[in-house]
Structures are given as C-alpha cells and as structure tokens.
Structure 1
Amino acid sequence: MAAAEQEEKSIQEELTDQILLAERVIKSAQEAESSKLECFELAKQSTQLAHLLRSIVRLTPSSQSLYERPLRRIITDSSMNLLRALTLVRKCKHSGVLRLVFAITTTADFRKVSNLLESSIADIKWLISIYDSESGTNLSLPPIASNDPILAWVWSFIATVQMGQLKDRVEAANELASLARDNNRNMKIIVQEDGVAPLLKLLTDGASAEAQLAAATALYNLGTDQEKVKSIASEVSAVSIVVKAIGESPMRVQIVLVNLVARMADLDEGVREDLGRENVHRPLVTLLGMDIVVEEAKTPSGKPTSIHSLVQINKEVSKKSFHSNSSSSLYSDGSSRGGRKEREAESPDMKHKLKICCAGALWMLSKGSLHNSRKITDTKALVCLAKLIEKEHGELQINCLMTVMELAAVAEIHPDLRQVAFKPNSPAARVILDQLLRVLNEETSPQLLKPTIKSIGSLARTFPAKETRILGPLVKQLGHKSADVATEAAIALGKFVALDNFNRVEHSKSIIEFNGVPRLMNLLKSNDRPRKHEFVLLCCLAIHVGNSPALEQARALSVIEEAARPMLAHHPELRELFAKAVDHLTLYQAGVHTHHKHSYVP
C-alpha cells in the first residue's frame, strides 16, 4: 500500500520529500556527540545531494515533458541511502556505555554509507546531464546502472527523444531503433522504461521526414510480439497517431508505418480491431490504388465497359467513399501533406514497395475480423485489388490475393457480409471473380493458386446453380502436380457440394460432367498423405448423384469403403457421412458390395 501511494506522488512531491530527508540527515549529524568527523562527512554529502535535488526541482517547472523514469528510480535508491545515513548519525547522539557499544560497528558502517551517498550524488549528476538539452545524448555510466549499461543508454536516449533538440532527438531515436533490433531484452527495457510515448510524440511533431522515419523505425522494431504490440497500442492515442501519420507522412515513412500496422494487426486481435475503429483502411486503400481510375474497370467478359457501365460501377464502389466530395479518380490523394505532386515525384520502386505494404496490411487487418472486413469492402478496395491482381506480379499480386482470401473467409462465416460484399451481380464482386477465374485458368504457381482456390471455396454459397465457369477450372486443379493445390481444390469443391449448400445437387452434377471423378479417385488411391477432404468430397457426390454412371464406372463404392478403414479410425466424426454415401451408392448400384453396407455404421 505504501509503495502504491509513493508511486502516485508527483515528481515534485518526491523531490520535496527527498530534500527534507537530506535536511534531517544534516541536522542529526550536527547534533552528533560521537564520531563527529564521520558525521560531518555524511552531512557534507547530504548537503551536496540536497543541492543537486534542488537543481532538478528548478528543471521541472520549465519542462512539462520531463522524462521521469530514471529520476524516480534514482530517487528511490537515494532515499534508501539517506535513510541509512539518518539511522547511522542518530546513533552518534548516544553517550557513555551506549556510545562504546555503537562505536564497535560504526567505522565500517560510515564508510559503507558514505560510498552509497557518493553513488547517489554521481547518479543525480548524471541525471542532470541527460536533462540538459544542450549537451545531447550522454553515454556515460551512472553507478545505478553499473551492472546494466543498456539501462543507462536507454534512459539517455529516451530522455533525448523526449527533451532534446531536433537533431539530437533524431539521432537518439535511431539509436533506440538499433538497440531494439539487437535483441529482445533491449526491446523489453525500452518499452518498460516508457520509451514508446516520446517516439509517438516525435512522430506526430513531424518536424522533419528524418524525425518521422526514425520514430517510425524504432516503433516498428519494438513491436515484435503480442506483449509489446499491446504496450505500444495502450499509449494514449497511439493507434490514432499512427493512422494519422500514415495519411500525412512522406512515402518512405508511410512504408515503415504501414508495416507497423500490418505487424500489430497480425500479432494481436484486440489491436487489430482498434486499428479498424480508427479507420486505418482508408489511407491503406487510398495508397494501394493511387494510380487506379474508374475508367480501367472492365466487364466480366474482359471488354472495356460502356459509359453506362462505368457510371454504374462508379456508383456502386463509391457509395461510401473516403471523402464527401469524391473526384473522378477511383482514389483520392494518400497524403494531405505531400499531395499529388510530391507523390508523383516518388520513384516507381518506392510506390511499388508501398503498395506491397498496404496490401499486406489489409491482409492482416481483414484476418478473422468482421468489423474490418466490412469497412474494407465498403470502400473501393475490391476493385483496386482486382486490378492489381490482373496487372501485377510477385509479392504485390500475392498480397492482394491473400487479402481477398481473408475477406472471403470472413464472408463465408457471416452471410450478411457475403450477401453485400460478394453479391454475384455487384460490379465489385464481378471484377474480383473475374480475376480469381483468370488466375485459376492461367497460373500454375501454388503460391497464387492456393489463396485463389480458398477464396472461391469460401464463396461457394454465392454461386448460382448454373455457374459452371468456376467449377470446370476448379475440378482441373484436382490433378495439379502440387498435392497442396489439389487438396485445396478438393476442400473448395467440398463446399460447393456440402450438405448445407442449396445448389449442392446441381454443383455435384457439374463436377461429374467436368470429369472430376477420375481425378478424385487418383487422389484417394494415393498413399502419400491422409485424404480427408477428398474422402468427404466423394461421399457428398455419392449422396447427391449416387446414380451417376461415372461413379459406378470408377467403382466409387469400393474406393470409399477401402478409404474408410484408416479414415474413420482418425476421423470418427465422418461415420455418418460415410454411411449415407454407402446407402446411396448401394441403392443405385444393386448387388455391388452390399455385404459391406453396414460394417462402418456406428
């Protein structure tokens, strides 16, 4: 309780108590009746300590942003040392027999306490030196940090970032970034010693691009795990500061800040939602589509749109624009400070790198978040993502596909989002679907195909019964040389024919027509990995179109029964599905393996 009360005191109160304690030591030393020389020395040191403490008191009113962390730590140590001195000098007031008793132990004690007071004096001198904004960063080592030099450096750098001149602040922020990059312990010390708030302040001051870059880099290097990300986000207005800086900073700073957002969103679900509440998607989508205009959008056939179609697309994707006075460009400027001219002056490589970062951040923000996914799809993001998937290659294209995959995954779980954002006849959903289909037909890289197939699978319930242009290419991927791609295709197709998909029968017929059964059989007969998803797909096909000649010709009943033996041992939850499949196949394939019909029924 006492410790809690002491922590609640203002720094002025702490310093006042400390000075009064030093005065008590001086007064008691003057009243000493023994060891007067030693007491005089302690009084002299206490006087010096009080003088230094008064120097700090004079500093505090002139600087509202005084960095208190090392001061409180040093005052705590100094207070304990003064209390030891007070106890010692009070003993010297005794006389007679008691004086002889105390004299036995005081010689060594005086020496020890004197050394402790000398250390406190050196600590406070060092503290005053780091508070001197004219002297820059102080890398000397105070006694309090003699066993841990990093602590003294961190204190000095943070004090400079918070209280120094601009040039020194930038240099100190870069030093903190370097220390954080070195190891996890350094990061922890910087966060624990209140290093985040001064970095955020340096970021908001925006006195120079170098200052913003140094602060952003240090924050990025600190946010490497969930605990530190929470610590950063818990600072007052930290999330809003970062979001605002993304919209106002030069492009090289934006890259670092966007990467910070991506990392924070990835590491902590709560911070991910906080970022969404601050509308971080707005500058991200704006910057991602900085060179995209409405006229580039196309119809599902791939032909340029008519004037009427352009108007319709523009209306659809601009219902909830970033600003009330939207222009003819699909995206507004990404920087209120830099503006279009400054942005256009940036190199293509810099713009490309920023787009990669923005796509990556949207990917992390949308992951499992209905709130963020709604906000992202309410903007022009889907059109922007579609155009980049069409035009770009490499990391940018992959990040865009991963964003679509996460948005679709959330839409799969939440029908309201699926019906609004991915409604098949909406222009934004159509352009996305066109690009997913193009990748599915034209690409062979697993890195591109896997998120594409997952996206299509998540949207399986949105496709009408007559939608066959997706199923054909998807069935073809069952024969992909990559086992991972083939499995993803089986998972996606399984969602088209799932028992709760309204169009499951029509989709099952389409899969049969696209020669899906032979490819599926090849996968099930392969022994290189468990084939749960392929097994589920075949069972669903058997339930919905058990009378198909393709299933009979492929001896589907035998394949299912053979696959069931190891499958049900590891996945007993599939027993009911397996029983239904066997029932349907034996119903239409009379006399074929009927003696196995009930052997796997629970």
Structure 2
Amino acid sequence: MAAAAPPEEEKSVQEEVSLLILLAQQVIKSPQEAESSKLDCAELARQIDRLSSAAPSLYDRPVRRIAADITKTLDRALSLARKCRHGGLLRHLFSITTTADFRKVSKLLDSSIGDMRWLLSLFDSDETNLSLPPIAASNDPILAWVWSYIPTILMGNLKDRVDAANELASLAKDNDRNKKIIVEEDGILPLLKLLKEGASPEAQIAAANALYNIGTDQERVRMIVDVTGLPIIVRVLGEAQTRVQIPIANLMARMAELDPFARGIFVIENVTRPLISLLSMDLVLPLVLDVAKQLPGKDSINSIVQLNREIARTQRYLNSPAHSSSFSSSDGSSRGGHHKKEKEREAETPELKLKLQVSCAEALWKLSKGSISTSRRITETKGLLCLAKIIEKEIGDLQFNCLMTVMEITMFAECNTELRRADFKTNSPAAKAVFDQLLRVIQEGNNPTLQIASIRSIAAIALGKFACPDNFNSSQHSKAIIDFEGVPALRAVVGANDQARVHGLKLLCYLALSASNSKALEQARALNALEGAARSVVPQNPDLRELFATAINNLTLHRTGAHFHRQSIAP
C-alpha cells in the first residue's frame, strides 16, 4: 500500500502574491509570442495589467483566499495564451481556440479584478466597504461580511470599529457556523485588541459581547485562552467603567463554566480579588455590629474581639486603593485613577450596580465550581463574609448566585481538611455568618416562587456539607441546625417531590447520625420520613443505602431506648 503523501505546507502571503505576479507577467507577454488571436491575447494582457496592482499585507485571510482563486484564473489564461503560439499545422489543429474560450476567461478575469478591488478597499482607512466581492457573492456572503468587519476592527475609525464588532457579535449570536467562520478567519485577536485598547466604553462593550457570543463551547473558549486573552479580560475588569465590567464578568462566567483550564488560568491571574471587590462595593463597616449581634451570649469577649478585628481587616482590604486598582496600569496614575473610578461608581444608578454585582457573583460561582484554588482565594480574601452579608440582605439572582458560590466552597470544605479547619472552625466569624444565613434561608422556604424553591434546594445542599460526618465539626453544626429550628423546615423539603428532596433527606440522615436523641427529630417524625423515603429514593440512589440504614438504625435505637425508659419510670 502506497504511503500517504505528506500534507502540503501552507504558503506564506508573500509566496502567494509572488506566484500571482509571475503568472501575470507571463500572460502579459503572451501577445508578443502569439501567432493567432493576437487581439484577444492583447485584451487579456490589458485586464491582467489592471489586476496586477500592489496586494495588501496586514489582514491576510481574504488575501490568501482571493489569491488562490486568482491563481487558478491566471493559470487558465496562460494556458489559453500558449495555445496561440506558432507550433506547426498539426499542433494548431489540436489546440484550436475559439472566441467563447476567450469570453469565459475574460469573464473570470473581470471577477478577479472585482475581487482585488474589493480587497484593496478593505485596507483603505477612508472608506468603509460593506459590498460583496464576486468570489463571496457567488459562494458565501457571510465570509465576505467577516472579511469586511475584521480589518475594520483593526484599522477603521473608532465608530466603524465599534459597528464592526457589534456586527460580528450579531453574526455569532445563536449561529454556530458563523462562529466557526469568525474563528477560522482570525477574528479573536482583533476583538481582544479592541478590548485591550479601551478606546471607548462602547468599543469595549462591543468586543466583550462579540467574544461572549463566540465562546459558547470549550473549543472556542480554549482558543481565547491560547492567544493569552485572559490577562486582558482580567485587567479590563479591574480598570473599566461599570457598564463595561458587566459584560466582562458575564464573559468570565461563561468561559469558566465551559472550560476547566480557563478556570485555572483565571485563578492564576487572581481574578477573585477584583470580583469580590466589585461584589462588596456597597458593603460598609456596620457589618461588624450586625454580625457581632448574632453571637450567642455564652461566647466570650475574645470571640467578639476576634470577629471585629477580622471584619475590620476585611473592610480595610476591600476598600483599599491597592486592592481596587491592583490591575491598573503601572504608569504612576493608579491612585488618581482609583479616585476617579470611585466617583464614577458613586454616580452610577442602583440598577446598574445591581447588574454588576449579579454578574460578579455568577462569575465567582462558575469559577468556584470544581476549583479548590478559587475556593481558597475567596476564603483568603474574606469573601465568605461578603457572601454572607449579601445572602442576608438581597433577594433574587444576586442572592441565588452567592448561595451557589457558598455551595461550591462548602463542597471542597467537606473533602479538604486544610480548608475546612482553616475557614470552617466553629469559632470562625466568616463560617458562622455564612452558616446562620443558610439556616435563615431554609426557614424562609414557604415562598411559593420557583426561584425561592431553588434557593431552598441549594441551602439544603450546603447545609449537608456542614453536617456531613466527614466534616470536622459536623456534630456542632448539626446541633446548630436543630437549635435554629431547621428540622421542621427540612421536614417540609423532604416531603416535596422535587430535586431538593434527595439533598434534604441526606441532611436529615446526617442529623440522625449526630443527634439521634433530639426531640426535634422525634417531633418531626424523622424516622417515619426516612423509612418511607428508603423505599422510593434508595433504589434510584444506591450509594445512599448505607447512609439511610445507619440513620434509620440510630433513630430506631433511640426510639426503643426512650420507650423502655418511659416504661421503667411509669407508676
């Protein structure tokens, strides 16, 4: 079996253009050598002379495509011209040319002239050309639009650059084929360049939206990563205006959700700091008093002092110019830029600030998913206190996204001893603040809306991480859930028939393992609930069989012991 031929290496633009010039010169000389059809050959030469103007060299994708097409046309023209050379009667009989042959080649050359004129117009800074070249008009109009927009983004005036980026965003929205064309025609780098330059907020928003619409699968997200786009995105988040930061945070959330590698690079770029800073921009120092009031009376003075010190450090960190401008340029103007940004932010509407917080919270959630590094960064920057405060004060998407972030962090706290012991100790102010708010969310589970039902489900998952036997402080957390009257609300969750039920049942099992003698569990008929659920839930979730069996056994032993005790003291 013959070995496969090695793939041809892609020619450089210079090689493509050089070949065009060589072929063109040969055809132009053809009238001098022709013995027949001299006038027709001369007309071909005139057309090719018009075609042989200087070729552009900056954005090479349309150059390559059009050059390859023109090469085929020139080859055909040269072949036709060579047939007109004197070569004897017999040769002349086997190479007869007709006027129709010249007509066909002439038509092809006219199209090539149109393609080259269109190509040159792309690089004319004084002209915005949105017409279609003949090559694309007959084959793929979308390709022509992409060829028009990309060089405009690179070289056009500011308004045209914004318009071109918006057009690419529109083409990419909900159309995978268009996304593929934009990527194949090297559209990512010009968009990142537009984003980085920061010529105007409108330009940055257009670029961010286009990248957001392009990066809808892991492969295209990885392409943005591979051209070192993430440092640019992180820097813009720290420096840009609020209305730019919103689509940037949305872009981060999408990229982090689709590509674990992108999540890792974002962590390396320390994106959690600006995200937490923006998320907590309206949190003020009274947080110290609010959380201190939640401490039970039996807590020592030292605990309250520790709490105040920790939250005060958090506030100083979050409000420090160095933190907020850590991604500013190093030209010595960062401090002035920080004060300017603060004034601009103060003038923003509450609705715009809320949108930014929602987007930043979603980005933190997606970055935390499956990432122990992000979870550590959030706890290291005291982000748990910010999340707890927002869960307490907010509703809707912002509260939901913060709950989801807490869920991801607690998942790693369950399996990572270092994280669990460092940030989820029973005397940790941040852990206590989060824990209390999760309990409060469960207690408010009677809201009939679907969103609140989802929040109840997420809170049940997170509380399960606290009460899981693998958690170093599971006994204390289980007791706190019971003391805060979480069992009645939990009983309502396990009685429903939705996705919250399984998580609620697992949490109920954990409570039975740690506090089987609780009156609250007995009053809520936890044993009956688990026995009934075991017949329907365990067959579908065999990994829960042992957990259910142990929890039911604990509650049964407690019921038997209590019944025996009551009989022994009866008169």
Q: Tell me the TM-score normalised to structure 2 length.
A: 0.84
Q: For 2:94 and 2:37, how far apart are their aligned partners in 1? A: 10
- CA 101–233 in structure 1, closer or farther in 2 if over 3 Å, else same: farther
Distance of aligned partners of 1:438 and 1:517 in 2 relative to their CA distance in 1, 3 Å threshold: same
Matched, 1:521 2:526: no
Q: How does 1:224-243 map to 2 (within 5 A)?
A: 224-235=216-227, 237-243=228-234
Matched-pair contact (CA < 8 Å) for 1:180–1:222 = yes
Match of 1:453 in 2: 460
What runs of 5+ residues in structure 1 fail to find an aligned partner? 61-65, 498-503, 554-602
CA 1:466–1:310: 2 relative to 1, 3 Å: closer
1:588: which partner in 2? none
Partner of 1:594: none
- Letter of the aligned partner of 1:482 in structure 2? A
Question: What is the match of residue 63 of structure 2?
Answer: 71
Checking the alignment, whether the CA contact within 8 Å between 2:292 and 2:308 is kept in structure 1 is no
1:206 corresponds in structure 2 to: 198
Look up the match of 2:503: 488
Partner of 1:177: 169
1:5 aligns with 9
Q: SS of the counterpart of 1:245?
A: helix
Alpha carbons of 1:89 and 1:294: their partners in 2 closer, same or farther (altered >3 Å)?
same
Residue 433 of structure 1 deviates from its aligned partner by 1.0
Q: Distance in 2 between matches of 1:527 and 1:108?
A: 80
Paired with 1:201 and 1:175, the residues of 2 have a C-alpha distance of 16
Distance 1:550 1:181, change over 3 A: farther
Could you report, residue by residue, the CA deviation over 1:529-575 in whole angstroms, capped at 9, with x for unpaired residues?
Answer: 9575875443012455663325998xxxxxxxxxxxxxxxxxxxxxx
What is the identity, as a one-letter code, of the residue corresponding to 2:506? I
1:269 and 2:269 are equivalent in the alignment: no
Instruction: Please report how far the alpha carbon of residue 420 of structure 1 lies from its aligned counterpart in structure 2 after TM superposition.
Output: 2.3
Unmatched 5+ stretches in structure 2: 325-333, 447-451, 564-571
Alignment of 1:242-321 (within 5 A): 242-297=233-288, 298-299=290-291, 302=294, 308-314=305-311, 317=314
Q: 2:558 aligns with which of 544, 548, 552?
A: 548
Question: 1:304-343 counterparts in 2 under 5 A?
Answer: 308-314=305-311, 317=314, 336=338, 338-343=340-345
The equivalent of 1:595 in structure 2 is none
Show the counterpart of 1:393. Answer: 395
Closer, same or farther: CA 360–325 of 1 in aligned 2, 3 Å: closer
C-alpha contact (below 8 Å) 2:527/2:555 kept by paired residues: no
* 1:440 corresponds to 2:442: yes
Deviates more, 1:509-518 or 1:207-216: 509-518
In the alignment, the residues of structure 2 paired with residue 240 and residue 531 of structure 1 have an alpha-carbon distance, to the nearest angstrom, of 43
**Counterpart contact for 2:136–2:143, Cα < 8 Å:** no
Work out the CA distance in 1 between the residues paired with 2:270 and 2:319.
10
DSSP 3-state at the match of 1:425: coil
Indicate how the Cα distance of structure 1 residues 278 and 355 shifts in structure 2: closer, same or farther if over 3 A, else same.
Answer: same
Judging changes above 3 Å, is the alpha-carbon distance between structure 1 residues 526 and 134 closer, same or farther for their aligned structure 2 residues?
same
1:12 Cα offset (Å)? 3.7
Deviates more, 1:138-147 or 1:163-172: 138-147
Letter in 2 for 1:156: S
Q: 1:322 to 1:351 in 2, by over 3 A?
A: closer
Match of 2:568 in 1: none
Asked if 1:539 is matched to 2:549, the reply is yes
Give distance in 2, aligned partners of 1:528 and 1:546.
18
Separation in 2, partners of 1:300, 1:535: 41
- Sort the Cα spacing of 1:203 and 1:4 in 2 relative to 1 into closer, same or farther, 3 A: farther
Deviations 1:419-444 (A, max 9, x none): 22323322211211111122122333
The 1:321–1:190 alpha-carbon spacing in structure 2 relative to 1, beyond 3 Å, is same
Letter in 1 for 2:240: S
The answer to whether the Cα contact below 8 Å between 1:487 and 1:534 also exists between their aligned partners in 2 is no
Distance 1:133-1:325 versus aligned 2 partners, 3 A rule: closer
Task: For 1:37-76, list aligned pairs within 5 A.
Answer: 37-50=39-52, 52=53, 54=54, 56-57=55-56, 60=57, 66-76=58-68
CA distance in 2, matches of 1:247, 1:280: 9
1:194 — aligned with what?
186
Match of 1:100 among 87, 92, 100: 92
In the alignment, the residues of structure 1 paired with residue 550 and residue 292 of structure 2 have an alpha-carbon distance, to the nearest angstrom, of 31
* Alpha-carbon distance change, 256 to 381 in structure 1, aligned in 2, over 3 angstroms: same
Distance 2:292 2:443 in 1: 15
Counterpart position of 1:411: 413
Q: What is the rounded CA distance, in whole Å, between the counterparts of 2:416 and 2:23 in structure 1?
A: 65
Quick check: 131-140 or 479-488, which moved more? 479-488
With over 3 angstroms needed to count, the CA separation of the structure-2 counterparts of 1:242 and 1:326, relative to structure 1, is: closer
- What CA distance in whole angstroms lies between the structure 2 residues aligned with 1:324 and 1:182? 40
Displacement, 1:483?
2.5
Residue identity opposite 1:547 in structure 2: L
Distance 1:113 1:144 in 2: 19
Q: CA deviation at 1:454?
A: 0.7
- For 1:531 and 1:427, the matched residues in 2 are separated by 36
Per the alignment, residue 17 of structure 2 pairs with 15
SS in 2 for 1:462: coil
Q: Are the counterparts in 1 of residues 285 and 315 from structure 2 also a CA contact under 8 Å? A: no
Counterpart-to-counterpart distance in 2, 1:463 and 1:247: 37
**Identity score, percent:** 47
Contact 2:201 2:244 in 1 (8 A): yes
RMSD after superposition: 3.3
The equivalent residue for 1:592 is: none
Cα shift at 1:522? 4.3
Pair 1:489–1:6, CA change in 2 (3 A): closer
Secondary structure of 2:24's partner?
Answer: helix
Could you give the per-residue CA deviations for residues 174-204 of structure 1, whole angstroms, max 9, x where no partner exists?
A: 1112222252222222222111111111111
Q: Shift of the alpha carbon at 1:234?
A: 2.4
Of residues 336-345 and 186-195 in structure 1, the stretch that sits farther from structure 2 once superposed is 336-345
SS in 2 for 1:453: helix
What is aligned with 1:567?
none
Structure 2 matches for 1:120-199, cutoff 5 A?
Answer: 120-181=112-173, 183-199=175-191
Work out which of the residue numbers 343, 347, 352 in structure 2 matches 1:350.
352
Q: Which residue of the partner structure matches residue 587 of structure 1? A: none
Report the 3-state secondary structure (helix = DSSP H, G, I; strand = E; otherwise coil) of the residue aligned with 1:168: helix
Separation of aligned partners in 2, 1:42 and 1:325: 69
Deviations 1:280-304 (A, max 9, x none): 2121111100011344134475269
Aligned partners of 2:7, 2:30: CA distance in 1, in Å? 26
Partner of 2:386: 384
State the shift of 1:88 in Å.
2.6
Asked if 2 retains the 8 angstrom alpha-carbon contact of 1:130 and 1:138, the reply is: no
Mapped partners of 1:80, 1:337: distance in 2: 61
Task: Report the CA distance between 1:213 and its aligned residue.
Answer: 1.4
Structure 1: how far apart are the matches of 2:304 and 2:528? Answer: 46
User: One-letter code of the match for 1:462?
Assistant: F
| 3-state SS of paired residue (1:232) | helix
CA contact (8 A) 2:188 2:224 kept: yes
Aligned length in residues:
529
| Cα separation, 1, equivalents of 2:126 and 2:164 | 14
CA distance in 2, matches of 1:126, 1:139: 8
**CA–CA distance in structure 2, aligned partners of residues 457 and 27 of structure 1:** 84
What is the SS of the residue equivalent to 1:88? helix
Change over 3 Å in CA distance of 1:285–1:486 after alignment to 2: same
**Deviation of 1:205 (Å):** 1.2
Which whole-Å CA distance do the structure 1 matches of 2:6 and 2:124 have between them?
32
The equivalent residue for 2:404 is: 402
**Which residue number corresponds to residue 479 of structure 1?**
492
SS at 1:118's partner residue?
helix
Deviations along 1:463-499, whole A, 9 cap, x unmatched?
25344121464543133342233321112344566xx
Provide the residue aligned with 2:569 in structure 1: none
Query: Is 487-496 or 159-168 further displaced after alignment?
Result: 487-496
